[in-house]
C-alpha cells in the first residue's frame, strides 16, 4: 500500500451475478462524483471498474469490490480493491498483454483497465486468488 | 432482467439504449435485433447510445457483433450519439470498434443509412444509364 | 512564552478599557503602510471588527488561535487576507494589519509599567505572531487559487473552437502545447462537435512551435476519438520542423488527413461534402 495516503471508509459490493457488475459501476460513479473527478476521469474509472468487476465474476468465480475515497495530502481520489479467491493468474505478464484472453473476450480487460487508472497493483498467484488495487486521482 | 426496446421507423430499426445494461441485457439485445432484422426486412439499424455514460469492452464487442450480423443480413448499422468522454475512454482502453459506422446524432445516422442505400441504388441506376450516356458514370466515393 | 487563560482575559480587558485609543492608533499605523490605497474609514472598520472579535476571544479565556472557539477570529483574519490578496497588496502589507497591534499594545502597556506588564506583553505577542502567520497562510492560499484561476482562464482563452462553415469547426492552436492543454483542447473540440453537430474538424497547428511525443499522441487520440463519434479530423499547418520531429519520433499518422494550410484543409472538407451536394443536385433534376 502506498505510504501517506488517507483512505475513507470502504463501501463493499459483492460480485456474485451479472447485475452486481452494474451495481459496482453505480457505486464507483457515486464515489467518483463525490471526490469531484472530472467527467472524463469518472468515465475512465467507471469503465476500468466495469472491466475488473467482470473479471472478478468471470475468472475469479465471484468476489468482493471495495470502493473508498483516498487522499494523499495534495489530491483526492478513489481507490477500488477487487478481490476473489479464484484460480489466480499464473502468467501475469501474458495476462497483461493486449489481446490475450482465456475467456473468449477481447483481451482488453486487464491491460485496458491499467491504462485507464493512475495506480494499478496486482497481487496473485496460481491457486491463490487475485487482488487488484486501482487508484484514480483528481487533476 | 431489463430488455432494451427496438422501434421500427420506416425501414429502419431504432434502438435507444436508456439503461445501464447488464451483460445479459446486452446479449439479449444482440439476439433480439438479429430476429427483428429478419422479421421486418429492415435495411438499417440505428443504435443511439447518447444516454450511455460508459462503453466497456463487453458493450463494445456487442456493438461490433451487431454490426457484423446486420451486415450479413443486408442491413447497415450506425451507432450514434457517443459522448466525448466515452470516446476518449475507448481510445485509451484500446477498443477501436472495427467495422462500426458512427454518426454524431440520430439525424446524421439516418442520412448515413440512406446514403448507403442510395449508393446501392446508384449502382443500379448507373448500370441502366450507362448506355444512353455513352459511357459508365464515374462514382466518387464520398468519405461519409 | 505561551498565553495563559488569565492573560487572555487581561488582554480582553486591556483592549476594552483603551478601546478607542487602540483602534485609532492601530488604524494609523496600518494606514501609514498602505499609502492611501485603502481608505482610512475602511481600515478603521476592519480594525474595529478585529478588535471586537479579539475581545470576545479573550473573554472566553482562549489561549490558542487553533482552539475550537477561535473560529470567528480565524474567519475574520482569513477574510482580511483574502481581501488584501485580491486587491493586489503585498504579503507584508497584509501582515502589518495584524502586527501593528504589537506596537499599540506596547505603547499602552508602557504607561502601566512593571515586570508583570512585560511578561504579559511577551505572551500577547505570541498570540499576535500566531495571528500574523495565519494571515500569511490565508494570503498565500488566496494568491495560489488566484493563480490557478488565471491559468485556467488562460487555457480557455488560448483554445478557441470556431465554426468555419456549416458542419466544419476549427481549432487554431497557438503557442506551446503541453499535455494538460492538449487534453483540454481534445475535450473541448469533441464537445463542440456534439454541440454543433459538425462532422468535420480541422486542427490547425501553424502556431505551434514544437511538439513532443506526448502532445502528438494527444492529437492522434483526439482524431481517433472523433472518428469513434462519427466525425473526421484534418490536421493542417504542420511546420517542417514538426514534420521532421514526427518522423524522427516514429509517430504513425496513419490514414489521418494532413494539409499544408488551413485553407487547403477547408477546401479538402468542402470538396468531400461538395461531392455529396453535387450528387444530390443531380438526382433532383
User: What is the sign, positive or negative, of the torsion defined by CA atoms of A108, A113, A116, A120?
Assistant: negative
Q: Rounded CA gap, C217 and B129, in Å?
A: 48
Between C116 and C141, the higher pLDDT residue: C141
Residue B10 resides in a domain = yes
Cβ distance B57 to A42 less than 8 Å, yes or no, reads no
C194 close to B (CB below 8 A): yes
User: Mind listing the domains of chain C with CATH numbers?
Assistant: 5-153 (1.10.490.130), 162-284 (3.30.750.24)
Residue B140 resides in a domain = no
Percent of chain C whose pLDDT exceeds 70:
94
Q: pLDDT at position A21, please?
A: 96
Tell me whether residue B56 is exposed, middle or buried, using C-beta atoms within 10 angstroms of its C-beta: 0 to 12, 13 to 18, 19 or more: buried
Q: Span C256-280, mean pLDDT?
A: 79
Residue B103 resides in a domain = yes
Note the CATH architecture for domain A6-137: 2-Layer Sandwich (3.30)
pLDDT 10s digits, A103-113 = 656 667 788 89
- On the question of pLDDT at C246 being above 90, the answer is no
Whether the Cβ atoms of residue C203 and residue C235 lie closer than 8 Å to each other: yes
A97 close to B (CB below 8 A): no
- On the question of pLDDT at B127 being above 80, the answer is no
Residue B137 resides in a domain = no
Q: pLDDT at position A105, please?
A: 62
Tell me whether residue C75 is exposed, middle or buried, using C-beta atoms within 10 angstroms of its C-beta: 0 to 12, 13 to 18, 19 or more: exposed
Cβ distance B54 to A116 less than 8 Å, yes or no, reads no
What is the SS3 assignment for A121?
A: strand
Chain A nearest-CA distance from B53, in A, is 7
Identify all chain C residues contacting B90, using CB atoms and an 8 Å cutoff: 225, 228
Counting the structural domains of chain B, the total is 1
> What residue numbers bound the domain in which B100 lies?
6-131
Q: Which of A73-82, C57-66, C241-250 has the highest mean pLDDT?
A: A73-82
pLDDT 10s digits, A50-79 = 999 999 999 899 999 999 999 988 889 999
Residue B142 resides in a domain = no
Mean pLDDT of chain A: 89
Identify all chain B residues contacting A39, using CB atoms and an 8 Å cutoff: 85
Residue B42 resides in a domain = yes
Q: pLDDT at position B85, please?
A: 96
pLDDT 10s digits, A79-136 = 999 999 988 888 888 888 877 776 656 667 788 899 999 999 999 888 889 999 999 9
CATH of the domain at B18: 3.30.750.24
* CB contact burial A46-72 (16+ within 10 A = b; e otherwise): bbbbbbbbbbbbbbbeebbbbbbbbee
Cell of A107: 483481451
Cβ distance A109 to B95 less than 8 Å, yes or no, reads no
Q: pLDDT at position B124, please?
A: 55
Residue B33 resides in a domain = yes
Q: Rounded CA gap, C263 and C168, in Å?
A: 12
Residue B94 resides in a domain = yes
Q: Rounded CA gap, C131 and C108, in Å?
A: 20
Q: Span A21-46, mean pLDDT?
A: 95
Chain C nearest-CA distance from B17, in A, is 16
What is the SS3 assignment for A41?
A: helix
Residues 26-45 of A with CB under 8 A from B: 26, 29, 39-40, 42-44
pLDDT 10s digits, C117-164 = 788 888 888 888 888 999 998 998 888 888 888 877 776 666 788 888
Q: Which of C132, C138, C144, C178 is nearest to C159 (CA)?
A: C178
Q: Which of C93, C80, C101 is nearest to C36 (CA)?
A: C93
B117 close to C (CB below 8 A): no
- Give me the interface pTM, i.e. the ipTM: 0.87
Amino acid at each position: 500500500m502506498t505510504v501517506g495516503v488517507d483512505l475513507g471508509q470502504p463501501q463493499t459490493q459483492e460480485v456474485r451475478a451479472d447485475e452486481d457488475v452494474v451495481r459496482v459501476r453505480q457505486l464507483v460513479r457515486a464515489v467518483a462524483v463525490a471526490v469531484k473527478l472530472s467527467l472524463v476521469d469518472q468515465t475512465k474509472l467507471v469503465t476500468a471498474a466495469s472491466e475488473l468487476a467482470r473479471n472478478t465474476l468471470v475468472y475469479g468465480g465471484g468476489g468482493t469490490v471495495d470502493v473508498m475515497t483516498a487522499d494523499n495530502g495534495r489530491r483526492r481520489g478513489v481507490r477500488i480493491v477487487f478481490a476473489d479467491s479464484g484460480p489466480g493468474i499464473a502468467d501475469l505478464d501474458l495476462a497483461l498483454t493486449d489481446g490475450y484472453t482465456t475467456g473468449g473476450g477481447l483481451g482488453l480487460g486487464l491491460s485496458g483497465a491499467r491504462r485507464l487508472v493512475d495506480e494499478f497493483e496486482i497481487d496473485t498467484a496460481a491457486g491463490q486468488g487475485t487482488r487488484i488495487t486501482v487508484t484514480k486521482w483528481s487533476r | 432482467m431489463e430488455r432494451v426496446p427496438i422501434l421500427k421507423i420506416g425501414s429502419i430499426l431504432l434502438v435507444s439504449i436508456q439503461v445501464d445494461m447488464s451483460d445479459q441485457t446486452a446479449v439479449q439485445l444482440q439476439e433480439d435485433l438479429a430476429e427483428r432484422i429478419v422479421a421486418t426486412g429492415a435495411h438499417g439499424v440505428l443504435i443511439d447510445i447518447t444516454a450511455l455514460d460508459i462503453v466497456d469492452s463487453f458493450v463494445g464487442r456487442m456493438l461490433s457483433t451487431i454490426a457484423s450480423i446486420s451486415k450479413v443480413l443486408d442491413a447497415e448499422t450506425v451507432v450514434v450519439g457517443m459522448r466525448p468522454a466515452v470516446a476518449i475512454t475507448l481510445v485509451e482502453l484500446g477498443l477501436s470498434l472495427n467495422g462500426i459506422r458512427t454518426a454524431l446524432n440520430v439525424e446524421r445516422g439516418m442520412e448515413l443509412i440512406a446514403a448507403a442505400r442510395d449508393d446501392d441504388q446508384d449502382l443500379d441506376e448507373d448500370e441502366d444509364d450507362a448506355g444512353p450516356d455513352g459511357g459508365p458514370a464515374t462514382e466518387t466515393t464520398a468519405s461519409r | 512564552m505561551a498565553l495563559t487563560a488569565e492573560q487572555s482575559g487581561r488582554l480582553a480587558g486591556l483592549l476594552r478599557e483603551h478601546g478607542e485609543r487602540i483602534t485609532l492608533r492601530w488604524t494609523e499605523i496600518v494606514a501609514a503602510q498602505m499609502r492611501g490605497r485603502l481608505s482610512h474609514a475602511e481600515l478603521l472598520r476592519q480594525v474595529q471588527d478585529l478588535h471586537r472579535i479579539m475581545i470576545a476571544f479573550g473573554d472566553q479565556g482562549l489561549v490558542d488561535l487553533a482552539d475550537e472557539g477561535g473560529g470567528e477570529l480565524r474567519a475574520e483574519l482569513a477574510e482580511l487576507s483574502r481581501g488584501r490578496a485580491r486587491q493586489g497588496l503585498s504579503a507584508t502589507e497584509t501582515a502589518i494589519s495584524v502586527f501593528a497591534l504589537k506596537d499599540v499594545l506596547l505603547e499602552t502597556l508602557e504607561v502601566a509599567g512593571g515586570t508583570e506588564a512585560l511578561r504579559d506583553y511577551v505572551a500577547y505577542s505570541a498570540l499576535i505572531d500566531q495571528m500574523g502567520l495565519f494571515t500569511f497562510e490565508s494570503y498565500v492560499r488566496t494568491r495560489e487559487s488566484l493563480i490557478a484561476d488565471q491559468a485556467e482562464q488562460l487555457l480557455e482563452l488560448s483554445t478557441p473552437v470556431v465554426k468555419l462553415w456549416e458542419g466544419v469547426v476549427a481549432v487554431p492552436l497557438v503557442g506551446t502545447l503541453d499535455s494538460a492543454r492538449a487534453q483540454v483542447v481534445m475535450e473541448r473540440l469533441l464537445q463542440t462537435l456534439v454541440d454543433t453537430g459538425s462532422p468535420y474538424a480541422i486542427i490547425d497547428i501553424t502556431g505551434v512551435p514544437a511538439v513532443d511525443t506526448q502532445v502528438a499522441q494527444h492529437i492522434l487520440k483526439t482524431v481517433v476519438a472523433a472518428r469513434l463519434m462519427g466525425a473526421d479530423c484534418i490536421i493542417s499547418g504542420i511546420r517542417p520542423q514538426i514534420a521532421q520531429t514526427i518522423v524522427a519520433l516514429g509517430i504513425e499518422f496513419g490514414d489521418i488527413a494532413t494539409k499544408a494550410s488551413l485553407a487547403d484543409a477547408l477546401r479538402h472538407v468542402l470538396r468531400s461534402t461538395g461531392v455529396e451536394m453535387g450528387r444530390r443536385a443531380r438526382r433532383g433534376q
